[in-house]
Amino acid sequence: MSENTNNGERLTGGRKFAVDFVPLLIFIVAYFFGRRLVGVAGDIAGATWCLREGAEMYLAVAAFMPAFAVAFVYSVWKEKRVAPMLLVSGVIIGVLGSLTLVLQNKTFFYMKPTIVYLLFGGVLLAGLATQRNFLKIVFDGALHMPDAAWKTLTQRYAVFFIGLALLNEVAWRWLTAGCPPEPAIAPGAGAWGWLLGECGSAQTTQCAGEAQWVQLKAFGFTILSLVFTALQAPLIAKHMQEEPPKAG
């Protein structure tokens, strides 16, 4: 039976997976297959469309943001609450994604994981410093452990998040250092000039370093997070308690 929260239904299983990973999957597909998809869309519209050289990231961000917004609204609608981590991620994605597209500067989105992980790690440490355990609040009664165990788990997650932030900063700066300069938008290119360009044999695929960073962001950080979480199983199993009896 699903757990109710504020008369809402806690998302689990396939629905939880969809909220967490479908927007990321859309980002990956748009980035690696965007050139082909744009061509197909042009055929459907009866026109010849080609993705502008170096615009793979812009297409992926433009597809990712509405997908995340739909997942966020669905989560709030079903659970009748706003998940704190989802809210923080949504605000950062909205701000940095918009700056990426408006200013045509990929650096903002490269730094998104850095800011998200630093914020999560910083909030966890600040909570411990003020005698508040935000990780325990996020789990919202799903786990029952002594406060000492929660403190240890929170410290580990804080250090892990900060480590991921540092890893992302080193990775994107190193991997994209050799990427060629992005071509300027041609004068008179129109409203879609930031995305579409002239079709021709001169067009190239993604910058290899940028594509590697996308793979690291999508798969590497996810795998690291799953492995780290699995490594916490002994601590959780050792201190796990049965659900305390409810008052009355």
pLDDT tens digits for range 18-35: 988 999 999 999 999 999
- Does 67 have pLDDT greater than 90? yes
Q: Which amino acid is located at 165 in the chain?
A: A
Give me the pLDDT at residue 41, please.
93
Handedness of CA 117, 106, 98, 26 (dihedral sign): negative
* Chain segment 138-161, per-residue pLDDT in tens: 776 677 889 899 999 999 999 999
Q: Residue 32 in contact with residue 26, Cβ under 8 Å?
A: no
Q: Residue 20 in contact with residue 195, Cβ under 8 Å?
A: no
User: Which residues, in sequence order, are CB contacts of 10 under 8 Å at separation 6+?
Assistant: 2, 3, 4, 79
Lowest mean pLDDT among 32-36, 75-79, 129-133, 181-185: 181-185
- Does 199 have pLDDT greater than 50? yes
- Does 188 have pLDDT greater than 90? no
Structure tokens at 108: 């903002």
* This prediction's pTM: 0.86
